[in-house]
Amino acid sequence: MNRSRSSGDKKVAQPPVSRITRSSGSQDRHPDPAESQDPGQSLYGKQRRRNTDSALAQDLGPISVNVENILPTSKEKKSRTSSDPVPAGQSSGSVSRSGLSSVARLVKLGRCKNVVVVAGAGISTSSGIPDFRTPGTGLYANLEKFNVPYPEAIFNIDYFSNDPQPFFSLAKALYPGGHRPNYVHYFIRMLHHKGLLRRVYTQNIDGLEKLCGIPEDKLVEAHGSFSTASCHLCYTPYPAEEAKSAIMNDNIPKCSFCTATVKPDVVFFGEDLPQKYFLHTEDFPKADLLIVMGTSLQIEPFASLVNTVRSTVPRLLLNRHAVGPFERVPLRRGDHMELGDLAETVRRFAELLEWNDEIEELMKRQEVMSIPTLVTSPSSLTFCPNAAASSEPETSRSEPQDQRGAGSGGEDTDSETDCKSSASSNASK
């Protein structure tokens, strides 16, 4: 993170770096190219190409949205008048239900070789981890026992400075180790396996992207993680395992330099985003497909990243509700939505891509190769309704790399374990 760290009695200043602070407002919002006053200029100061992307535009077809969950029933049609507002994300004209098939066709044609994924808490709900904002079941709806003045306060750095105990109580349930990756994580993993994933930008701090085998260089944990810890005041590094041990035993870890409270390097409201976040200035201009999944797009500046791809780039929203620019009526040309249960939607997408069998085989193989680990819950605050899921062993990161499907670029290799497994598999044939 972008901070000055103390060493001895002197402060060692780091070289100047770009700074963006996490906030729930819009002051740090990345600009939307569609809002530019000069229609001939893109966000990156280059003339927009109108003819060179014509082939891609033809393949995209009309804007599309799956209206399964937003079209009115016959009873609702009778009661709705012509003055009623159009549901979010629904075009006022006819709509197509070909969003997934249109994007799947582009991928199978080889037109999407630099896929950027933007992911939120919704991708982990199938693993037993709640999202933040779902009424009744979301994390923010179940914080009464922590006596915080408002839900977001539990992740506010100023509130933490005055009273760290609410966050530490919550952290005992949020620490990685009690949950496992699900089908959605492995779908993203398969994008990498096929050589199509440029980067995945995640808001999650659960570590499941790493656990399913997405390489470190392909992952941007925009809101930090539990893997490291430091003093919240002077930013002196602190052993992550010692911090975890203290928190799990209801103790408050203290900085050895200034005695202030230590916390995991999860990015709070009011803190700088990690330097790796700025890879977006390279990734989004080069993306040829943007997949947005499981996010409310309400936390800035992360939320407005989706506006920084080129105007000709297809954007696919896989979500329970229309959010952000996908609430616009009509949708931008090339925007597609598929609304409903995320795990089911991603599975249908994988079937259209003919990847489903490979993903299931990958999940089974990692289950067999996993090392049994007894996982116990250190806190009475449990977010895993499926007891079997929380007590099953964690998966390993190894994967035999003997699968080659359409679209495999071979540009990115997996772990050394994958290579060894592949060699062993080939030798046995």
Catalytic one among 185, 192, 223, 232? 223
DSSP labels for 91-155? -SS---S-HHHHHHHHHHTT---SEEEEE-GGGGGGGT---SSSTTTSGGGG-GGGT-SSGGGGG
What secondary structure letter does DSSP report for 221?
E
Contact 293, 319 (CB under 8 A): yes
Strand partners for 264? 229
* First-to-final CA distance of the chain: 48
Catalytic-residue membership of 336: no
Inter-residue contact 131 to 320 (CB < 8 Å): no
186 contacts: CB under 8 Å, gap ≥ 6: 212, 359, 362, 363
CA–CA separation, 351 vs 359, rounded Å?
10
Whose structure tokens read 């656990």? Answer: 211
Percent of the chain that is helix, strand, coil (3-state, to 5): 35, 15, 50
Residues with active-site annotation: 223
